[in-house]
Chain A
Amino acid sequence: MSALPRWVGLPVGAVVAVGALTGVQVANGGGTYEPLRPADACVERPVTSRADGIDGLTERLVLLGLADAACQLGASREALTLELAQTGGRTNAEVDAVRQGLLSAVRQMKAEGSLPPASDLVDEALATADLNGLLKRVILALPDSVVDSALKTDDVLVRAIDDLDLRALLSDPDDQRRLEQQVEVAVTQAVKDSLVARLRGLP
């Protein structure tokens, strides 16, 4: 039996080298080194906030609402966020989905018990509210139990979301001041409506 020629080592070595390289790379995650894929918007995910009070509540509401809206539209939460970040007109489907998403977020947070009572938000809300000073002091003097029985956070939020002109709000997301003004007007009106409704409901 004649010995193999020495040059056979070259193709054999090449096949071994290429095989070993590919194997080591694939074993270490080669081939899957890709951008993070957005999670399915319809699958529930934990939503937290580093902020307290109204900011924290708003952030959680918006994140839950966005995910729900994206789920309704068949998009990812990230794709919808990027779409809404662009200035321009919104379709009816988008406006409806965002409104329903926010309302769904309120229901979800109420069911989880993660909605703060109104008394937790009053001090912060009054600090920025355009109200008479005497009236502010009177409201601040009310016991928490009175505030909480007069105002239900979920009721105020639902009324505010229904009142909001989302089409105008979403058409120019870069206009932070206009956005804050619209939200403040809607929340103030929602508080008034909620109080009136409570008074009408009294025996």
Chain B
Amino acid sequence: MRRAVAPLLAVTVAMVLADSAVVTLALPDILRSLDASVGQVAWVLIAYNLVLGLAAVPAATTLSRVQPRMFSAVGIAVFAGSSVWCATADSIEVLIAARCLQAVGGALSLVACLEQLVEEQGERRGLATWVTAGVIGTAAGPVVGGLLTQAISWQAIFVVQVPLAVLAVPAALSVASVPPADWERHRPAVRANVTLALMSAALTAALFLLVLLLVEGWGRSPAAAAVTVSVVPVAALAARPLAHLLRPPPEVEVAVGCFLVAGGLLGLAIPPSANLAWTVAPQALVGLGLGLTVDRLTSHAIGMRLPRARHAGWTIGARHLGVVLGLAVLTPVFTADLRDAQVPAQEAITALVLDAPLPPQDKIAVAQALGRELATQQGQVPDLHRAFSTLDLDPEDRPAAARLQSDLDEQLKRAATWAFRDSFIIGAGIALLAMLTLVRPPRRTS
């Protein structure tokens, strides 16, 4: 049992931070299952990050007055209980409420797990474990969520967390430690936390918008999207050995990380086609940037600063409020761009149907089927396969109809990619802004 304590606490940290983005790929399923609007379903993401961001510092302040093991166990138990509540939610309002409670449990367990990992492994190793678990959890969240949604259901995302959390409760209770001393106070690392907040906002574009583009825009399955976006966590893991090999100064490491995230997001903004292969290199740059910045900045904001838990609270707050900032900035942009993309997409589709080498009656039938499909999709990308499968075509016209379907599908992908472009570019701009926070103003000399 003793040996399993640190891994279980690390898994808890990864799980709580993975929940920040774990439902991204499940959002379309949740929208249909709970009969919610796009605006409501966005709050499944926003509520968790907002509450986690706001609750982290108060949770860390309270930790100085209670036993960390009790605090941690209660936090994990609340997290597990609210995960069950999320899985059984029968309305979007209930799910959002459950996600808020889940974030409160997450905030308690995150700050307490840091103290317990330091108690178990020592200052340096314990902090490194906490930071690494967080980076892996953040990057792997969408992948795990996508695979579970495709293989089972969106509810499975929350159900699988319960046994892990249940195992982590006794592990947390087994670590005997005293409440962290509150008498020594270091100032919060403002610059590092601001950079973290901006980087989290920028990474929102990669972690949330890319999966939406893959699933909703390019029509990929959640599992295919999950496998595709796994490039980010894999590249993030490669960042540490790279930094260890080259040993750059911390500011250079963070600046390069910001630049790589900006470059990767720019690459995602201008893919030459909807082939998944074009997302691999941009994602690798984003992943490397994520690994170089978040790891280094988190360590800098917490390491050697007391009370440790409170600085962890500031860091968690900065990261998750950064995610909320990213969602707040990017969501209106890409939803407006998606709306704006409908007209050029409809015109492109109209041009292809009018000029298709099909008999006029078949063209009319295609147009009517597409019209019906558009009417039932409520602003989402229409299902062309369903529209074409309803057609009664002569065998000799089927190859032309199949070509038309493929051409229309290509136009929809082009429109979706075009609609996401501005959001990725804004994400890149935020990453460059994060780089600017590293520039120190010259000191005044008297």
Q: Which residues of A are at the interface with B, using a C-beta cutoff of 8 A? A: 6-7, 9-11, 14-15, 17-18, 21-22, 24-26, 28-31, 33-39, 48-51, 55-56, 58-59, 63, 66, 76-79, 81-82, 85, 176
Contacts and interface: CB of A to CB of B under 8 A. Distances in A.
Contact of A63 (B242, B346, B354, B361): B354
| Residue from the set A48, A50, A85 with the largest chain B CB neighbour count within 10 Å | A50
A79 B271 contact: no
Contacts of A79: 347
| Residue from the set A10, A11, A55, A76 with the largest chain B CB neighbour count within 10 Å | A10
B360 A33 contact: no
A175 to B, nearest CB: 12
B272 A18 contact: no
Contact of B347 (A21, A26, A66, A76): A76
A81 B351 CA distance: 9
A123 B259 CA distance: 73
B359 to A, nearest CB: 5
A36 B271 CA distance: 16
A20 to B, nearest CB: 9
B348 A38 contact: yes
Given A28-B272, A55-B360, 4 more contacts: A18-B266, A33-B417, A33-B418, A37-B344
18 contacts: A14-B263, A15-B259, A17-B260, A18-B267, A29-B273, A30-B272, A33-B270, A33-B271, A33-B272, A33-B417, A33-B418, A34-B418, A35-B411, A38-B347, A50-B360, A55-B361, A78-B354, A79-B347
A31 B425 CA distance: 12
B6 interface: no
B404 to A, nearest CB: 12
A7 B267 CA distance: 25
Contacts of B266: 18, 22
Interface residues of B, number: 50
B285 interface: yes
Contacts of A33: 270-274, 414, 417-418
Contacts of B357: 48, 50
B326 interface: no
Contacts of A66: 354
Interface stretch (B69-77, B191-199, B250-258): B250-258
Nearest to B412: A35
B350 interface: yes
Nearest to B270: A30
B379 interface: no
Where chain B touches its partner, the secondary structure class is helix
Given A30-B271, A31-B270, A14 B246 contact: no
A38 B364 CA distance: 20
A76 to B, nearest CB: 6
Given A10-B256, A21-B267, A34 B344 contact: yes
Contacts of B360: 49-51, 55-56, 58-59
B222 to A, nearest CB: 23
Contacts of A22: 263, 266-267, 270
Contacts of A48: 357
A76 B351 CA distance: 10
A14 to B, nearest CB: 5
Given A10-B246, A33-B414, A51 B270 contact: no
B333 interface: no
A192 B66 CA distance: 100
B248 interface: yes
Interface string B252-293: 110110011011101100111110001001100100000000
B352 interface: yes
Contacts of B341: 35
A50 B354 CA distance: 12
| Residue from the set A18, A29, A77 with the largest chain B CB neighbour count within 10 Å | A18
Given A22-B266, A37-B344, A11 B278 contact: no
A50 B411 CA distance: 23
Interface string B338-358: 000100111110111010011
A84 to B, nearest CB: 11
B139 to A, nearest CB: 19
A1 to B, nearest CB: 21
Interface in B46-62: none
Contacts of A51: 359-361
Given A30-B270, A51-B359, A38 B414 contact: no
Contacts of A37: 344, 348
B218 to A, nearest CB: 12
A18 B259 contact: yes
A163 B341 CA distance: 39
B371 interface: yes
A11 B256 contact: yes
A11 B351 contact: no
B164 interface: no
A7 B272 contact: no
Contacts of B262: 18
